[in-house]
Structure 1
Amino acid sequence: MLSTALASFVAVFAALFPVVNPLGDGPLFLNMVQGCSEGVRKKLARSVSLNCFFLLFGSMLVGPQILLFFGISLAALKLAGGAVVIAVGWNLLNQQGSSDRNANQSAGITDATATGSAFFPLTMPLTVGPGSIATAISLAAAAQENKDFHFLTELPAVIGATLALATLSIVIYFVYRESSGIQRILGSNGTNVLMRLFAFILLAIGVQIFLGGLNGYALDLSKLITVH
């Protein structure tokens, strides 16, 4: 039981943490809420972290059923999600700077409009984008195909996955809450270097997800050839 919960925790956290990328999103969050007071920023950090937890948990809970209803294969989801993550990583890698990217957005979020901005755009697409949702659904769908690990039917697996999402949300909360202090420590150059590093990692993750989708199609094709 404990080994199943631990395996579920590690699998979910290791897959989602680099895609959600809270450390890389921290400077972007700060730029978007520069018009807010420190107290409001902390409230937004708490709201965004809770939104992320429920959004990812809901994706894992009902995502596989949605795929089944629309007849979408896991390989197709990985191809689409991987392509989105590649595009996001490439754009972040080649942008001129986080402040330039969000100059217009940061001016629009103030104390008066902060509550309405907690979900869009701060939770989605800034923190949990299409790539994160695709990864969460892929994890749950792949778990259902694995006879030794069923996310929706085995309680230890559910507990492990839930704790992983809770841990990720806590990391998001602390990074966003302390984003101004982190930026002061790193400076503008350090922040941009960190963002480039995580953008490159995100790009590599997107390629890996995309190749996983191609591999899925290749396996399906080989099975068809073998049958015929």
Structure 2
Amino acid sequence: MDVTLTAKLFAALFAIMNPLSTIPVFLALTADLTPAQRRSALIAMIVTVTAGALVCALAGQAVLSMFGIDVPHFRLAGGLIVLMIALSMLSGDDHSSHQGTEAEQQHFETVANVGVYPLGLPIALGPGTMATLIVFAQEANGAAGVAGYYAGLIGYLVFFAAAMALAPVIGGKLSPTALSISKRLMGIILAAIAMEMITGALGGVFPGWRG
């Protein structure tokens, strides 16, 4: 098993999905719900994230092929998306691709199940997360690479579900300072991952650069 790929994918998902930032949003959007409704929202969120992540992992390459998009160009686009999200995190802001625009946020509390939208999509599983999953899936070569990829993906999904299930406990211990620090640390990690995606893509688009 490719342990390096496992660790890189887990770190990338942790940085871009950042449960420490998602937990306060989950608690805010479910504050007026009954315990049963909050559990329903939690389950819907976890199911949405899991299903969406598996679709990206299993069918991402097929979707690219259907639209005639080659791997290097998609990797470059994905890297730029991830880099924009990372730069927003470094400045302490929430990128609209994951948090929604102001107009979209006004409708968050009126949807039937906040676990599906906006918590599942796009807050937890946004364009940056989808691009990351597809790009890393393309890097999983051979049995060892595939095993490492799915070990990282499944491991993170289990971790994410556990963190969200403990949201009331964790949320009570998170201070604004801790959230701010964690967001910037995740932004640095995500920026490094984005640059690796971009430079790898440029090497594929311009093979002459590799000498």
TM-score by length of 2: 0.77
Residue number in structure 2 paired with 1:55: 52
Distance, in Å, in 2 between the alignment partners of 1:150 and 1:195 is 30
Shift of 1:7: 6.9
Q: 2:62 aligns with which of 54, 65, 80?
A: 65
Residue number in structure 1 paired with 2:175: 187
Deviations 1:74-122 (A, max 9, x none): 111111111111222222332468xxx8999488437xx452x222211
Contact in 2 for aligned 1:35/1:109 (Cα 8 Å): no
Residue number in structure 2 paired with 1:176: 164
Q: 2:135 aligns with which of 130, 135, 138?
A: 138
Q: Given the superposition, is the C-alpha separation of residues 12 and 188 from structure 1 closer, same or farther in structure 2, using an over 3 Å criterion? A: closer
Residue number in structure 1 paired with 2:15: 18
Distance, in Å, in 2 between the alignment partners of 1:21 and 1:78 is 22
Distance, in Å, in 2 between the alignment partners of 1:199 and 1:163 is 24
Q: Given the superposition, is the C-alpha separation of residues 166 and 149 from structure 1 closer, same or farther in structure 2, using an over 3 Å criterion? A: closer
Q: 2:119 aligns with which of 119, 122, 139?
A: 122
Residue number in structure 2 paired with 1:90: 87
Q: Does 52-61 or 206-215 show the bigger shift?
A: 206-215
Distance, in Å, in 1 between the alignment partners of 2:106 and 2:39 is 16
Residue number in structure 2 paired with 1:154: none
Q: Which runs of 5+ in 2 are unaligned?
A: none
Distance, in Å, in 2 between the alignment partners of 1:75 and 1:190 is 37
Shift of 1:64: 0.8
Distance, in Å, in 1 between the alignment partners of 2:17 and 2:194 is 12
TM-score by length of 1: 0.72
Q: What is the aligned length?
A: 206
Deviations 1:136-180 (A, max 9, x none): 11222233xx356574xxxxx3xx544543322222222223223
Q: Does 1:201 align with 2:178?
A: no
